[in-house]
Amino acid sequence: MRVSIYSNDGSTSNEVASQLKEKIDNSSKLQYDGLNPQIVISVGGDGTLLSAFHHYNDSINNIRFVGIHTGHLGFYTDWRDYEVQQLVDSLENDNGQSVSYPLLSININYKDGGPSDSMVALNESTLKRINGTMVTDINIKNEFFEKFRGDGLCVATPTGSTAYNKSVGGAIISPEFDAVQVSEMASINNRVFRTLGSPIIIPPDEWITIIPDNPYHNILTCDQLVVQNRPIQSITYSISNDRIYFAQYRHTHFWKRVSNSFIGVHDND
């Protein structure tokens, strides 16, 4: 089985990555292959896993991810830094077991007449403005829904619902649902201006289009990346046809993951 390691630059991560590399090189069942891997092991935190996902974006359907966490939160990561040998044992006994989660599809049309862009997010995409109020139309399935005024909008996947989405008051959604959630950031609500004020969740056969009044001054993000600065005509969000696959050698139930990450360790565990 072809395995790649994607590590951040921390000293613990470097140490774990070199241990892993040595064990892979010494295994008759595993080959290191950074270009065309079947398994990508991310070593670091969630940010590292997000970077690994974007690095291997083009071959996402042929890859299963595994996350080792070396500090930080590690919501996406099932393995700890001291479990390298157990992970290698699991890789050697791999029988293709996997779990998959929905992704967010982002289609951007620009006002400069240039080609449109499409990309996929694992956590979320945001559209924000910092030098003034962001004013956009929000359409659902091509029908006008509302005029938004405020700091920005956050459009999240179920596994991303515990990240930025949570900070802006979105609900946590189990990734058993194929859903996209749109949350407001500091919307202006008064006698003159009105938005819905609550997060909305759309199913797989619906899509959301955001049309900024001003094509300039908006910051568009896709996970930890800022998308290049071209004048935006519209952005359409929907559930991607692609999914992310994780090698599932051990199963951490989603709600257990949430409670471990946000509530902490229970005495009676």
Query: Is position 252 an interface residue for ligand NAP (rule: CB under 6 A)?
Result: no
- List the one residue from 38, 56, 88, 124 that touches ligand NAP (CB under 6 A): 124
Q: Which stretch binds Mn ion (CB under 5 A): 28-36, 43-51, 208-216, 251-259?
A: 43-51
Q: Which does 124 bind (CB under 5 to 8 A by kind): Mn ion, ligand NAP, none?
A: ligand NAP
Does 46 participate in catalysis according to the annotation?
yes
CA–CA gap between residue 3 and residue 39 (Å, rounded): 5
Would you say 183 and 195 are in contact if contact means Cβ atoms under 8 Å apart?
Answer: no
- List the one residue from 6, 56, 65, 75 that touches ligand NAP (CB under 6 A): 75
Query: Is position 159 an interface residue for ligand NAP (rule: CB under 6 A)?
Result: yes
Note the helical H segments in 5-131.
11-25, 46-55, 84-92
Q: Which does 223 bind (CB under 5 to 8 A by kind): ligand NAP, Mn ion, none?
A: ligand NAP
Spatial CB neighbours of 74, under 8 Å, sequence gap ≥ 6: 45, 46, 67
Q: Which stretch binds ligand NAP (CB under 6 A): 97-105, 157-165, 206-214, 227-235?
A: 157-165
Under rule CB under 6 A, how many of the chain's residues touch ligand NAP? 18
Site string for ligand NAP, 43-62 (x = CB under 6 A): --xxx--x------------
CA–CA gap between residue 201 and residue 182 (Å, rounded): 6
Q: Which does 163 bind (CB under 5 to 8 A by kind): Mn ion, ligand NAP, none?
A: ligand NAP
User: Closest distance between ligand NAP and the C-beta of residue 254, in Å?
Assistant: 11
Is 47 known as a binding-site position?
Answer: yes
CB-nearer residue toward Mn ion: 74 or 199:
74
111-128: buried (b, 16+ CB within 10 Å) or exposed (e) per residue? eeeeeebebbbbbbbbbb
Start-to-end CA span in the chain (Å): 36
Q: How many residues does the chain have?
A: 269
The token duo for 23 is 């064990």
CB-nearer residue toward Mn ion: 123 or 236:
123
User: Closest distance between Mn ion and the C-beta of residue 46, in Å?
Assistant: 6
Q: Which residues, listed in sequence order, are joined to residue 41 by a DSSP beta bridge?
A: 5, 66
What sign does the dihedral 86-87-93-98 (CA atoms) show?
A: positive
CA–CA gap between residue 246 and residue 133 (Å, rounded): 39
SS3 55: helix
- List the one residue from 37, 45, 102, 199 that touches Mn ion (CB under 5 A): 45
Question: Strand (E) positions, the chain?
Answer: 2-7, 31-32, 39-44, 64-69, 79-80, 98-110, 117-121, 124-128, 134-140, 143-156, 180-187, 200-202, 208-212, 219-222, 225-226, 232-247
CB-nearer residue toward ligand NAP: 211 or 222:
222
- Which one of the listed residues 9, 25, 33, 46 is annotated catalytic? 46
The binding site consists of 46-47, 123-124, 149, 151, 162-167, 186
Binding region for ligand NAP (CB under 6 A): 45-47, 50, 72-75, 123-124, 159-160, 162-164, 167, 223-224
Binding region for Mn ion (CB under 5 A): 45, 47
Which residues carry out catalysis?
A: 46
